[in-house]
Chain A
Amino acid sequence: MDPINFVILACVLFAIGAAAVLVRRNAIIAFMGVELMLNAANLALVAFSRIHGQVDGQVMAFFVMVVAAAEVVVGLAIIIAVFRARQTISLDEPAELKG
């Protein structure tokens, strides 16, 4: 199978993830959208690495995974703090900051 198909799949996943962040109002779903975008980038890196016949792209994907894991830790901590204070994680609900 031509590896360029995986690049196309990565682009589709990235678009779905970006749409989820921009459209969904639930903080967890929006965050899942971000994770989907990061994984789309990983898939693109690995596919390109195969196209170029290098291992560089695969090594980079590992770095991205580690960073994404750290981001999950921080993100979920903030979302949980918001949930415990307000009993909701809707992004429309907390509206103390305006203007």
Chain B
Amino acid sequence: MTFTTPAIEWAPTAPFIVVLGAAALAILVEAIVRTPATRRLVQLILSLVALLAALGLVIVQWAMLKGAGTVVLEGMLTVDRQSLAWQAVLLVSGLLGTLLFAARTRAGEEAFASLGAASPGSTEETLARRKGLQVTEVFPLALFAVGGMMLFTSVTDLIFLFVALEVFSLPLYILVALARRRRLLSHEGALKYFLLGAFSSAVFLFGAALLYGATGTTAFAGVGTGIVGASGLDPIILTGAVFVVVGLLFKLGAVPFHSWTPDAYQGAPTPVTAFMGAATKAAAAAALIRVLYVALHPLAWELSWLIWVTAIASMLLGTVVALVQTEIKRMLAYSSIAHAGFILVALAGLPDQAVWALPFYLFVYGLATLGAFAVITQVRERGEDGTVLGEATRLGQWAGLGRRSPWLAGAMALFLLSFAGIPLTAGFVGKFVAFGAAISEGGWPLVLIAVIASAAAAFFYVRLVVLMFLTDVPEDQEDAIAIDYSPLARVVVIVTAVAIVLLGVVPGPVLAAFENAGVLLIGAAG
């Protein structure tokens, strides 16, 4: 047997190499730079430079791309406009997320534990805190996660998709466990996220193995043609296809595969929640599009019940349970489950429009998510002696925030209205194009439910807005809340707020760019 060396096309793979290479380099920095403060600065600069460079490379490729795109690495990776659009969305989330990771309170407190390995309340923890240790590994971990997600959106091979899935999931499990405050909560969230995440990736992998068995290949296009050609293998093909889709729905956080979402969102350090909420959903939606449209397209009719049932269940459960939440991060987690339902609505019947509507939808959803959680990092409890403590996440504590800080509360209101899909915010345009996609393939009953669910969801978003602006601060609570302006978190809030207003008022140019992304390059089989 002879082996031929695979040809590696460097130009289309450059963004991945830059991000993952910088992540590997950042691990070396951990070993070389000893002083925590310097190391943190080096890591931050390295991350930002790598992400900006990759974003620049993606934009250059977008401008230079001729035709539909290129299939590289022996058909493992497809770099087309669709993939480039998702890469840009993920890199923007990664950049804003990294800024939030680095944000510190005025007293210099970070969002992450000073020593991840020290148990909560132990002497080691006190010592580590006193010595000023910092877990700067969060920056390389975030880079690995972004790189893995970028691969996840572009890979066209089921096994490589599994590898990319784990490359971005494993760093996220660790990041979730690293909260500085409420560490038991953080550990518990990480444990649940890990076990369910590992379970879902095993389900995905078994599905991929079954599809390989039925079609003799794991390349998406080959699986697609193999499904058409295979006869008498229906049970294996169907089980495999359902397992693969279920594995991806887990990452999307759709009901009934959502149970990790509230725990991971609430337990994770808020910057991680922001990044995870924005980026994981985008990556999962991107992979779902590519798998459904390229590999499993012959099974569109058989799989439609799965999409319909999970879409309806996610919208209803997400909305209803969010109504009764009293914890703000948990409320936004259930709202993200409802949004997973809206994403699936766009995929009902596999309309052509969804291929460009979803990248736009997830772009604006990601911006609003990053902005909302950036606001949450700044609203903090104040102790008896006036020191600023952890984040104030009970809804009641947000009463009268509009009086304390009109701009911050105004930005939060904007993000919430964008989640709700109120006109003149970017969220409205996103929902409009996503639901329009579903209608074009006869999914109007789903869209009807989605519109009703959006209206019901608006209730709990507006409830928080009312709480912030129209409710007075309770008499004895005057000093209980501190607004902690961290410059970096403020940058994130301003950037996302401006982007959401701009995309809501003049969405035209950006929508036109995303419309170009609506072509999936079907790579050669094999």
Please list the residues of chain A having a beta carbon within 8 angstroms of any beta carbon in chain B. 7, 10, 14, 17-18, 21, 27, 30-31, 33-34, 37-38, 40-41, 44-45, 47-48, 51-52, 54-57, 60, 63-64, 67, 70-71, 74-75, 77-79, 81-82, 84-86, 91, 94, 96-97, 99
Contacts and interface: CB of A to CB of B under 8 A. Distances in A.
Contact of B163 (A30, A52, A67): A67
11 contacts: A41-B202, A44-B206, A51-B213, A56-B217, A56-B218, A70-B170, A78-B173, A82-B187, A85-B183, A96-B184, A97-B267
B497 to A, nearest CB: 29
Contacts of B203: 18, 37
Nearest to B199: A21
A17 B203 CA distance: 10
A85 B177 CA distance: 12
Task: Please provide the 5 A-B residue pairs with the shortest distance between their CB atoms, ordered closest to farther.
Answer: A48-B213, A37-B202, A44-B209, A94-B188, A84-B119
Contact of A48 (B185, B209, B263): B209
Nearest to A13: B206
Nearest to A30: B195
A99 B267 CA distance: 13
A81 B177 contact: yes
A52 B216 CA distance: 6
Contacts of B173: 74-75, 78
Contacts of A7: 213
Given A71-B166, A71-B198, A81 B188 contact: no
A10 B213 CA distance: 12
Interface in B194-247: 194-195, 198-199, 202-203, 205-206, 208-210, 212-213, 216-218
Nearest to A21: B199
A82 B330 contact: no
Interface of B: 1, 116-117, 119-120, 159, 162-163, 166, 170, 173-174, 177, 183-185, 187-192, 194-195, 198-199, 202-203, 205-206, 208-210, 212-213, 216-218, 262-263, 266-267, 321, 324-325, 327, 330
B184 A94 contact: yes
B218 A99 contact: no
Nearest to B210: A44
Given A37-B206, A64-B205, A74-B173, 13 more contacts: A17-B202, A21-B199, A34-B202, A37-B205, A38-B205, A64-B162, A74-B174, A84-B119, A85-B119, A86-B184, A94-B187, A96-B185, A99-B327
Nearest to A67: B166
Contacts of B262: 97, 99
Contacts of A64: 159, 162, 205
Contact of B191 (A37, A56, A94): A94
A31 B183 CA distance: 22
Contacts of A78: 173-174, 177, 187, 190-191, 194
A55 B189 CA distance: 40
B163 A85 contact: no
Contact of A82 (B191, B198, B217, B321): B191
A70 B192 contact: no
Contact of B194 (A55, A56, A60, A74): A74
Contacts of A33: 199
A79 B210 CA distance: 31
B195 A44 contact: no
Nearest to A39: B202
Residue among B173, B209, B266, B330 with the highest chain A CB neighbour number at 10 A: B209
A57 B263 contact: no
Contacts of A44: 206, 209-210, 213
B224 to A, nearest CB: 17
A63 B174 contact: no
Residue among B116, B120, B187 with the highest chain A CB neighbour number at 10 A: B187
Contacts of A27: 191, 195
A17 B202 CA distance: 10
Nearest to B170: A74
A48 B212 CA distance: 7
Contacts of B202: 17-18, 34, 37-38, 41
A41 B191 CA distance: 23
B209 A63 contact: no
A10 B195 CA distance: 21
A63 B198 contact: no
A67 to B, nearest CB: 5
A97 B209 contact: no
B189 A97 contact: yes
Nearest to A54: B216
A83 B212 CA distance: 39
B400 to A, nearest CB: 25
Contacts of B212: 45, 48, 56-57, 60
Contacts of B325: 99
Contacts of B208: 41
Nearest to A80: B117
Given A67-B163, A71-B170, A37 B120 contact: no
A10 B206 CA distance: 9
A74 B172 CA distance: 10
Nearest to B327: A99
Contacts of B120: 85
